[in-house]
Amino acid sequence: MPETDSPKLFGRSALSGAARVAGVIGWPIAHSLSPRLHGFWLDRHRVDGVYVPLAVKPGMLGRALIGLSALGFAGANVTIPHKEDACALVDEVSDLALRIGAVNTIVVRSDGRLFGTNTDAFGFIANLEAGCPGWRADAGPAVLLGAGGAARAIAVALIEAAAPALVIVNRDQGRAERLAAKLGPAGVRVEPWAKRAEVAGEAALLVNATSLGMAGKPPLDIDLAALPGEAVVTDIVYAPLVTPLLAAAGARGNRTVDGLGMLLHQARPAFQAWFGIDPEVSPELRRHVEQGLRPS
Ligand code: NDP
């Protein structure tokens, strides 16, 4: 078997005293795929480093972040429920994370200060570019279903990538309006949830950023009859990989991109910042992380 198909899990048994340490802070954290994802790259690149799950209860983030610096961590990812609180608790926040209102990646500087940024926007765009070669955000209007935390990062990503129009549609319309107001520029509009099928008719890109369609949740109920044939459809839900939305869009001939790639690509800038290597989102990595999705 070629070396690229079977990374040896030698890393954890060969760590030196100088190993770099990173991890993911969240609560609960046991379901996180990030240790599996970063662990693959650490093994593949034979890095003297480790990436661990860090179960940090609500209310404990401030103490955990002081610990990161005190313990000499290279940095950490931050996930639910701490992403928003992290903005106020790090020493420096990137402009992008400020716009999104959430930090998902922390880098510990050499002087121990914590720099917080957000790589979800990068992950969203990179996934579409990789999954749909030739796709460009500026090619046409985007219709975004959802106005929660993930939708905020995606809205900022699409605006930064020069989408000419962004229509936000959310069950709680007030939440969508607050998001649109924060985004600011002309070209962002909110429509009622009841009009989602009609609004899809305007989309060059249709994004599901709600949790609908996730295993254990109801499917996203949307009639795609009006969706243009050339529209690209992406769902950020990745469990299951092929959501009912992606299945319906694929069946009528639309190009589709699943949500797992967003998770894989958002990890790249963080890995590079902590371990000094820009890793590849390869088919082998995808297969390895997909195995972590399957109930054993
Ligand atoms: P939030 O809880 O912040 O937002 C949930 C969104 O789903 C809101 O827009 C909410 O609408 C909507 N929603 C929930 N239930 C319903 C329903 N019954 N009918 C209509 N709308 C509903 O979650 P996140 O934004 O953090 O995450 C959303 C999804 O994205 C999750 O499934 C998560 O796993 C996935 N995700 C994937 C990532 C990736 O890398 N691929 C990254 C981050 C998240 P309302 O405001 O009306 O409640």
Closest CA to 113 of 69, 71, 61: 69
Residue located nearest, by CA, to atom 11 of ligand 1: 171
User: How would residue 14 be classed by pLDDT, with cut points 50, 70 and 90?
Assistant: confident
Q: Indicate if ligand 1 lies below 6 Å from the C-beta of 151.
A: yes
Q: Does 13 score more than 50 pLDDT?
A: yes
Q: Indicate if ligand 1 lies below 6 Å from the C-beta of 214.
A: yes
Beta bridge pairs of residue 92: 115
Max Cα-Cα span within the chain: 60
Q: Does 7 score more than 80 pLDDT?
A: no
Q: Does 6 score more than 80 pLDDT?
A: no
Q: In this predicted model, what pLDDT tens digit does every residue of 84-94 receive, in sequence order? A: 999 999 999 99
Mean of the per-residue pLDDT values of the chain? 94
Average of pLDDT values for 220-238?
Answer: 98
Q: Does 184 score more than 90 pLDDT?
A: no
Q: Which of 62-76, 180-194, 198-212, 218-232 has the lowest mean pLDDT?
A: 180-194
Q: Indicate if ligand 1 lies below 6 Å from the C-beta of 77.
A: no
| pLDDT for res 294 | 74
Q: In this predicted model, what pLDDT tens digit does every residue of 101-111 receive, in sequence order? A: 999 999 999 99
Q: Which of 9-23, 58-72, 187-201, 236-250 has the lowest mean pLDDT?
A: 9-23
Residue to probe by mutation, ligand 1, list 31, 179, 211, most atoms within 8 Å of CB: 211
| pLDDT for res 11 | 66
Q: Indicate if ligand 1 lies below 6 Å from the C-beta of 146.
A: yes
DSSP conformation letters of 140-168: S-EEEE--SHHHHHHHHHHHHTT-S-EEE
| pLDDT for res 1 | 39
| pLDDT for res 147 | 97
Average of pLDDT values for 156-177?
Answer: 97
| pLDDT for res 186 | 78
Q: Indicate if ligand 1 lies below 6 Å from the C-beta of 107.
A: no
Measured in angstroms, how far is the CA atom of residue 288 from the centroid of ligand 1?
A: 25
Q: 189 to each of 99, 141, 185, 226, 289, how far by Cα in Å?
A: 18, 11, 10, 19, 36
% of the chain with per-residue pLDDT over 90: 93
d(CA 247, CA 262): 18
Strand ranges across the sheet with 20-26: 49-55, 20-26, 75-78, 105-108, 114-117, 92-93
Q: In this predicted model, what pLDDT tens digit does every residue of 244-293 receive, in sequence order? A: 999 999 999 999 999 999 999 999 999 999 999 999 999 999 999 999 99
% of the chain with per-residue pLDDT over 70: 95
d(CA 37, CA 281): 10
Question: Which residues are the active-site residues?
Answer: 83
Q: In this predicted model, what pLDDT tens digit does every residue of 233-247 receive, in sequence order? A: 999 999 999 999 999
